[in-house]
Structure 1
Amino acid sequence: MFPPGVGPAADPTEGTAPDRAIRSFQPRRSRVTDSQRQALLRLWSRWGLEIDGRTRLDLTALFDGRPVVLEIGFGMGEASAEMAAADPDTGLLAADVHTPGQGNLLRLAERAGLTNVRVANGDAILLLREMLPERSLAGLRIFFPDPWPKKRHHKRRLIQPAFVALAASRLAPGATLHCATDWVPYADWMLEVLSGSELLANTAADGGFVPRPAGRPLTRFERQGLAKGHEVRDLVFRRLP
């Protein structure tokens, strides 16, 4: 799709030992528009990075000293760009495998004059495990991950005890883990798994869900779900000292 060394790699881990863990995502190389492709060609070398599992990221250098929030799975990037614009003093490290979305987020960031956005291509679990130091993140956002609704596919869900333990270890004390889903059974699953972490505390006074925080924009996907009668649930947990 792109010349060698230009734009996101089809497989950032090529040439390394394969990660045989069960994946919670399917790489999607759907049609890339000309504007998305041009954004990737123009901006990837400056604002993009590969999740290769080999490079330890220096977040201080990458974001000019800003605190950094990691967003896993950003779709087409509209909400991500809006949140980054609303909080320019925080760096946004946005990880996804969807090439059109990567190009669109870069295009939106450039158009808005944002300097606090970096786009990561590849498996976010590998990013957390191999490339980010402990206690390095000011926040983690996971909005509308694939619910894998069939019981036989529940093992593919991103929110699992092992993942939560890894993610919590990368959060700085006081940082928040914010999840949202429009699949109520998955919301209940998330609540159970997150509540089982010894490193996280639920910010909801009743130990359940929270109202949608004002800082989380409605996404196109969310609007579509609401139009179908889906119920959206937000969970915000805080990293303990």
Structure 2
Amino acid sequence: MTESYQPSSATEDKSHHREIKSFVMRAGRMTDGQQRGLDQGMPRFGLSLDATAPDFDTVFGRSAPRTLEIGFGMGQSLLEMAAAAPEQDFIGVEVHLPGVGALCSGLLAQNLSNVRVYPCDAVQVLRNCVADASLDRLLLFFPDPWHKAKHNKRRILQPAFAELVRSKLKIGGVLHMATDWAHYAEQMLEVMNEAPGYRNLSDDGSYVPHPPERPVTKFERRGERLGHGVWDLKFAREN
């Protein structure tokens, strides 16, 4: 999934401008298994945009630590995290329908009940569906780096987005990011170090070692073999 973010002011003149979403939709072939995952899994796991935030305690049937992941791709990491922590609840946001289908397939195969899925724009989900101070963690793993300098403004991690996330985290809740683009890692660090109300959880004020709770993806392993670095950042909401 690719992501970018601009505050709502970008849509003031709706006759001339279309709101920039937190993603760019890309076509992808849906396999039979992914389609079955969508057909069978979305009635059970799927959520939709609503005018008011749902009560996730009711949605999950319990009160538990809650994590939201933006852009889970094909869903393997989210599936692994949910299976490893059945005492926690997870909300995944992804617009790439083959990935949504793949995740639903995995959830059904492993009979997991602690995941719900929004096949929607992440910014809209945060604004409309997530109550303030309700998340224990928000995960942003390997967002689109928009590596050309002229496209850097499309990156999802911008000051306004950091503030939106902060409002949804509980006090002490953690924003965990990971990227394999050095320049994006530097921008993430710069934005977050300047964002009010956050504390960097790194001992030296920069990046944290690879956290054991973040699964290593095939994509990441391939990058490591090619000599690519990966940078993890964790920031906790202070106030």
Q: TM-score, normalised by structure 1?
A: 0.89
| Deviation (angstroms), 1:66 | 2.1
The 8 Å contact of residues 22 and 123 in structure 2, kept in 1 or not, is answered as: no
1:97 and 2:95 correspond: yes
Q: Is 1:23–1:156's contact at 8 Å kept on the other side of the alignment?
A: no
Q: Name the CA distance, whole Å, in 1 between partners of 2:89 and 2:209.
A: 25
Aligned residue for 1:87?
Answer: 85
CA contact (8 A) 1:28 1:99 kept: no
Offset, 1:208? 0.2
Which residue of structure 2 lines up, in the alignment, with residue 111 of structure 1? 109
How far 1:133 moved relative to its partner? 1.2
Q: Which residue of 1 aligns with 2:21?
A: 23
77-86 vs 20-29, which moves further: 20-29
Alignment map for 1:9-48 (pairs within 5 Å): 20-48=18-46
Match of 1:77 in 2: 75
1:67 aligns with 2:65: yes
Equivalent residues in 2 for 1:162-241, closer than 5 Å: 162-241=160-239
CA offsets, 1:93-146, max 9 Å, x none?
A: 000101111011111111112110111111101111122111011100000000
Contact residue 28 and residue 97 of structure 1 kept, 8 A: no
What residue ranges of structure 1 are gaps of 5+ in the alignment? 1-17
* Matched pairs, number: 223
The C-alpha deviation readout for 1:59-110, integer Å capped at 9, x for no partner, is 1111222221000011111111000111111111000101111011111111
Select the residue among 51, 54, 64 that pairs with 1:54. 51
The question of whether the paired residues in 2 share the 8 Å contact of 1:24 and 1:146 is answered with no
For residue 56 of structure 1, what is the amino acid of its counterpart?
A: A
Identity across aligned pairs (percent)? Answer: 45
Q: Distance in 1 between matches of 2:121 and 2:197?
A: 23
1:55 CA displacement: 4.1
Counterparts of 1:59 and 1:167, CA distance in 2: 17
In structure 2, stretches of 5+ residues that fail to align are 1-13
CA distance in 2, matches of 1:121, 1:26: 13
C-alpha separation between the residues in 2 aligned to 1:188 and 1:74? 22
Contact 1:53 1:126 in 2 (8 A): no
Moved more, 167-176 or 220-229: 220-229
* Greater Cα offset, 177-186 or 20-29: 20-29
Corresponding residue of 1:157: 155
| Root mean square deviation of aligned Cα | 1.5
Contact map agreement 2:37 2:105 (CA 8 A) in 1? yes
SS state at 1:167 partner: helix
Give the distance between the partners of 1:21 and 1:194, measured in 2 at CA.
Answer: 24
Amino acid at match of 1:59: F
Q: TM-score, normalised by structure 2?
A: 0.89
Larger deviation: 76-85 or 62-71? 62-71
C-alpha displacement of 1:188: 0.3
**Partners of 1:111 and 1:93 in 2: how far apart?**
18
